[in-house]
Structure 1
Amino acid sequence: MTLSICTLGFGRADHLANLVHGLNRQDTRPAELVVAVMQAEPYRLPDTAFPVRQIMLDAADLPLAAARNAAARAASSDRLVFLDIDCIPDPGFVTDYAERLGEWDAVLMGEVLYLPKGATETGVDFARFEALGEKHSERAGPPTQPTGVCRDYRCFWSLNFAMRRDRFLALGGFDERYRGYGGEDTDFGRTLANAGVPILWARGARAFHQYHTHHMPPVHHVDSVLANARRFRDKWGEWTMQHWLRAFVLMGLIERRGDDYAVLRAPDPEDLALTAQQSHRPYASSARVLEMLEARQPAIASSYAAA
């Protein structure tokens, strides 16, 4: 068996270059890197000892689901690893996934540690990354055994996962009706659960997430989050991303109307400041913001919970 690395590209050229540097230092060489490019121009990348292919896509509406599917279809290997452009794989990354996928016809989710601002300024230094990297407080830690069962499909996370290509294609990949930010991950997790495909946490297969400013909850994507949450409701009969929707209600961006929501206004500078990642933290936290919002507006929080 061979192993293809699939990633998506929209900006962040320096991050992608670091991902490639990480792949160049693998204990086991990947068969290839496939980049689904969601911008007008391909990337200029470091030299590699393995093939790199860039698949150019229509970038309208940030087609994350379609881009992952395109990368998977273009891949030549029978095992796929999906790794976000922001991540740097540690030297054992390919070996760990290759071994686990030899044992399991399942979805495997490797470890992720978040790097603070400035961690990559001196290049790819794994000893430095190990010392600085932090686990996300809202994600499960690595299992004590090589693999551990994830019993809640909502925990599926496309940032760093692997599975056999034939299984991915048989499931139909990600639902391409999801456009823009949000929802396609949880939808794919639900598809896996319905098909009886195990979702496993993998010990190892570690990636280091590079710092970049972002917002959690993603207020700058409120329109696509709400549209994709509706798609999930229409498909599965229930809402997803409810913690984000709850935060948007508390911020006055949307309001609940029956079994739907309506957008009230666009986010303003105060909303963006509240949800922005702080430079002294390696990652943003939806839970931290939601806790602050609930403390400020307990009456609205209580009425939302009762709805």
Structure 2
Amino acid sequence: MSLSVCTLGFGRAGHLANLVCGLDRQTVRPAELVIGVMQSEPYALPDTAFPVRQVMLDAPHLPLAAARNAAARAAMGEHLVFLDIDCIPDPDFVADYADRLAGHDAVLMGEVMYLPAGATDKGIDFPHFATVAEKHSERAGPPITPTGICRDYRCFWSLNFAMRRDRFLALGGFDERYRGYGGEDTDFGRTLAEAGVPILWARGARAYHQYHPHHMPPVHHVESVLANARRFRDKWGEWTMQHWLRAFVLMGLIERRGDDYAVLRAPGADDLALTAQQSHRPYASSARVLEMLEAGRVADASSYAAA
């Protein structure tokens, strides 16, 4: 079985270098790494024992869907593994996917663990990562068996997944009408569900997500989240990313108008402070912020920042 790893790149050169080094330490190396580069310059990367190719997409508005599709079309492997630029694959990552994919015409989603700030300061240390990493509280745990069925397409997550290349291309890949942040994942999950392609959780195929400051809900992308949620509604007849939209309403960023939403204002310093990932936490939590908003416990951003 030949397996191509695909990732996307926009900035974060250090994170990508760690991803590449992680792939070079695999017990079973991939056939190649293909990078959809969403910036004007290619990356300078470490030497590897496998081919690395960079597909250039110097386009505005973070063309995430188009970049994934371009990487998949350029890939040569029978199977594709999509891995986010922030992730470092565990040494058995490729071997686990090769084992789990055998005999499955399905989408498999491997494990993701989150590293705290500073975890990679001394280089790639997998025993250390396993000790300090945390599971995301808003994501399902791995199954007891090698694979387990995921019955809700909304749980599909492009951070770490694998499938047959011919199936990906036959489905048309990600819908490139989604621009900027948000929505293209859930749209692809819905496409899988409509086509009857199973979505499976995979035990193993673990990736360690490297720390970086982030916002959840993603208030810094409110415009594209709303535009993409509207695009999903027009395509499938219902809204997606509703928990983010609810948070934006409670924050006074948008309001519901009939069967649509309107942007009221751009996020300010308090909104950014409220949703910012805290340096002592390995990941940002939409659920935590939304719970505080629903309970009316957010008088100002400092109440969250101190929590």
Which residue number in structure 1 is paired with residue 185 of structure 2?
A: 185
Alignment RMSD: 0.9
| AA aligned opposite 1:75 | A
The aligned runs of 1:63-212 (5 Å cut-off) are 63-212=63-212
Q: Deviations over 1:179-238 (max 9, x none)?
A: 000000000000000000000000000000000000000000000000000000000000
Amino acid at match of 1:114: Y
Structure 2 distance, partners of 1:102, 1:295, is 47
- Residue aligned with 1:103, SS: coil
Instruction: Name the residue aligned to 1:230.
Output: 230
What one-letter code is carried by the residue in structure 1 that aligns with 2:30?
Answer: P
SS of equivalent residue, structure 1 residue 18:
helix
Q: Give the residue type in structure 2 aligned to 1:229.
A: A
What are the superposed Cα offsets for residues 255-291 of structure 1, whole Å, 9 maximum, x if unpaired?
0000000000000000000000000000000000001
Residue 295 of structure 1 and its aligned partner are, at CA, apart by 1.2
In structure 2, the residue matched to 1:18 is 18
Looking at structure 1, the residues matched to 153 and 57 of structure 2 have their Cα atoms a distance apart, in angstroms, of: 29
Matched residues, percent identical?
84
Q: Distance in 1 between matches of 2:297 and 2:111?
A: 36
- 1:162 is matched by which residue type in structure 2? A
Letter of the structure 1 residue corresponding to residue 274 of structure 2: L
Q: How does 1:264-303 map to 2 (within 5 A)?
A: 264-296=264-296
Q: State the 1:100 CA deviation.
A: 1.2
Cα distance, 1:297 vs structure 2: 7.5
Partner of 1:303: none
Describe the superposition over 1:14-34 as per-residue Cα deviations: whole angstroms up to 9, x where unpaired. 000000110010000100000
Alpha-carbon contact 1:17-1:45 (below 8 Å) kept? yes
**Which residue in the other structure is 2:46 paired with?**
46
| SS in structure 2 at match of 1:296 | coil
Which consecutive residues of structure 2, in runs of 5 or more, have no partner in the other structure? Answer: 299-307
Residues 1:243 and 2:237 are matched in the alignment: no
Counterpart-to-counterpart distance in 2, 1:90 and 1:297: 39
Whole-Å Cα distance in 2 between the matches of residues 142 and 99 of structure 1? 16
Cα separation, 1, equivalents of 2:136 and 2:214: 15
Deviation at 1:79, TM superposition (A): 0.4
Q: What letter matches 1:249 in structure 2?
A: V
CA distance in structure 1 between the partners assigned to 2:99 and 2:294 by the alignment: 45
State the aligned residue count: 298
How far has the Cα of 1:59 moved from its partner? 2.5
CA deviation map 1:116-151 (0-9, x unaligned):
000000000000000001000000000000000000
Q: Which secondary structure does the structure 2 equivalent of 1:73 belong to?
A: helix
Partners of 1:59 and 1:100 lie apart in 2 by 35
Q: Provide the rounded CA distance (Å) in 2 between the counterparts of 1:130 and 1:214.
A: 22
What is the distance in 2 between the residues matched to 1:253 and 1:58?
Answer: 30
Q: TM-score, normalised by structure 2?
A: 0.96
Structure 1 unpaired stretches of 5+: 299-307
